[in-house]
């Protein structure tokens, strides 16, 4: 990693409680109580309630088959000793799986709540090759050409910054919604339903290597899980009270999930 202030190399202190840079000013950054590396000036990203809802939904395993497809895609291109970044990692569901199966993994997210939830779990599980830090994906505290791979899952894609930190020959995995992702959820709420369009921020300059589609039918059981899934979607904020009521009458929600995994090479 590099210092977000002066870009000199960053090292962990012996007691693992802080990180310091080798620049003239020896900038020092502390780990939070939850165990993520906290850099100043980063705020925003997901709220605590959004983070809690995503964690409670994802740990039930509803997205596990699609998550498995993401990890397999990474394994196909990246060796076990790789250095890998999860940019916009949220509360670390995919980050944790990647760290178990690939190499040294760092998750960056703007949200201190997301990094806090992710780091707490990593500590509880004793994961030593996994680190979380607050940072914007548009300004990563990472040296030029230093990582083997970067995954970007349902979070903003910053092509220029990702290209800067990737080694030559490194891989970028951009994961977004396929055209039928959450179709059943949309049909339960709205009268007129459209397919999802392509992500608008897909990389344009990196070499496109492969597109992998992972599509599954899931049944979401009970109001708590249905509400948690709904709150993870952009529809949550744009749906009227009367349309929300339709969802509240369901015991089970059957829906497609569809991830598009686009692989790029630097």
Ligand X SMILES: C[S@@+](CC[C@H](N)C(=O)[O-])C[C@H]1O[C@@H](n2cnc3c(N)ncnc32)[C@H](O)[C@@H]1O
Q: Which of 82, 130, 137, 157 touches ligand X (CB under 6 A)?
A: 137
Q: Among Zn ion, ligand X, none, what binds residue 3 when CB lies within 5 to 8 Å by partner kind?
A: Zn ion
Stretch that binds Zn ion, among 15-23, 114-122, 170-178, 257-265 (CB under 5 A): 15-23
Task: Establish if 260 lies at the interface with ligand X (CB under 6 A).
Answer: no
Q: If you search the block for the tokens 């030593």, which residue do you land on? A: 128
Terminal Cα-to-Cα distance of the chain (whole angstroms): 20
Closer residue to ligand X, CB minimum distance, 62 or 264: 62
CA 121, CA 201: separation in Å to the nearest integer? 31
**Dihedral-angle region of residue 232 (phi above 0 means left; psi in -120 to 50 means alpha; beta otherwise):** alpha
Exposure pattern of 67-99 as b/e (b: 16+ CB <10 Å)?
bebbbebbeebbeeebbbbbbbbbbbbbbbbbb
Closer residue to ligand X, CB minimum distance, 34 or 46: 46
Stretch that binds ligand X, among 24-32, 149-157, 186-194, 202-210 (CB under 6 A): 149-157
Which parts of 27-56 interact with Zn ion (CB under 5 A)?
27
**Dihedral-angle region of residue 88 (phi above 0 means left; psi in -120 to 50 means alpha; beta otherwise):** left
The footprint of ligand X on this chain (CB under 6 A) covers a number of residues equal to 18
Closer residue to ligand X, CB minimum distance, 130 or 153: 153
Task: Establish if 46 lies at the interface with ligand X (CB under 6 A).
Answer: yes
Tell me, rounded to whole angstroms, the distance of Cα 91 from its chain centroid: 8
Task: Establish if 154 lies at the interface with ligand X (CB under 6 A).
Answer: yes
Task: Establish if 214 lies at the interface with ligand X (CB under 6 A).
Answer: no
CA 48, CA 53: separation in Å to the nearest integer? 9
Contacts of 264 (CB under 8 A, 6+ apart): 171, 172, 173, 174, 203, 206, 207, 208, 209
Query: Least CB distance from residue 134 to Zn ion, whole Å?
Result: 16
Closer residue to ligand X, CB minimum distance, 23 or 65: 65
Closer residue to Zn ion, CB minimum distance, 27 or 181: 27
CA 31, CA 199: separation in Å to the nearest integer? 34
Task: Establish if 6 lies at the interface with Zn ion (CB under 5 A).
Answer: yes
CA 176, CA 102: separation in Å to the nearest integer? 21
Q: Which of 110, 119, 157, 165 touches ligand X (CB under 6 A)?
A: 110
Closer residue to Zn ion, CB minimum distance, 4 or 170: 4
Task: Establish if 78 lies at the interface with Zn ion (CB under 5 A).
Answer: no
Binding site for ligand X (CB under 6 A): 45-46, 54, 88-90, 93, 109-111, 114, 136-138, 153-156
């Amino acid at each position: 990693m590099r210092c977000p202030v002066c870009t000199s190399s960053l090292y962990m202190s012996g007691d693992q409680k802080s990180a310091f840079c080798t620049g003239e000013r020896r900038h020092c950054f502390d780990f939070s109580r939850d165990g993520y590396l906290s850099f100043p000036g980063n705020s925003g990203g997901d709220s605590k309630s959004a983070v809690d809802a995503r964690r409670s939904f994802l740990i039930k395993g509803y997205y596990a088959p699609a998550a498995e497809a993401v990890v397999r895609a990474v394994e196909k291109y990246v060796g076990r000793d790789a250095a890998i970044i999860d940019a916009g990692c949220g509360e670390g569901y995919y980050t944790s799986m990647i760290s178990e199966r690939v190499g040294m993994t760092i998750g960056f997210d703007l949200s201190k709540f997301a990094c806090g939830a992710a780091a707490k779990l990593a500590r509880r599980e004793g994961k030593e090759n996994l680190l979380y830090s607050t940072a914007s994906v548009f300004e990563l505290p990472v040296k030029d050409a230093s990582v083997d791979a970067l995954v970007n899952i349902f979070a903003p894609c910053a092509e220029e910054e990702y290209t800067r930190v990737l080694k030559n020959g490194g891989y970028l995995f951009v994961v977004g919604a396929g055209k039928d992702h959450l179709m059943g959820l949309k049909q339960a709420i709205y009268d007129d339903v459209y397919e999802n369009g392509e992500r608008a921020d897909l990389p344009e300059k990196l070499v496109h290597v492969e597109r992998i589609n992972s599509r599954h039918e899931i049944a979401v059981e009970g109001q708590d899980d249905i509400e948690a899934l709904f709150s993870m979607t952009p529809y949550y904020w744009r749906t009227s009270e009367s349309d929300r009521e339709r969802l509240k009458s369901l015991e089970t929600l059957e829906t497609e999930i569809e991830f598009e995994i686009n692989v790029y090479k630097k």
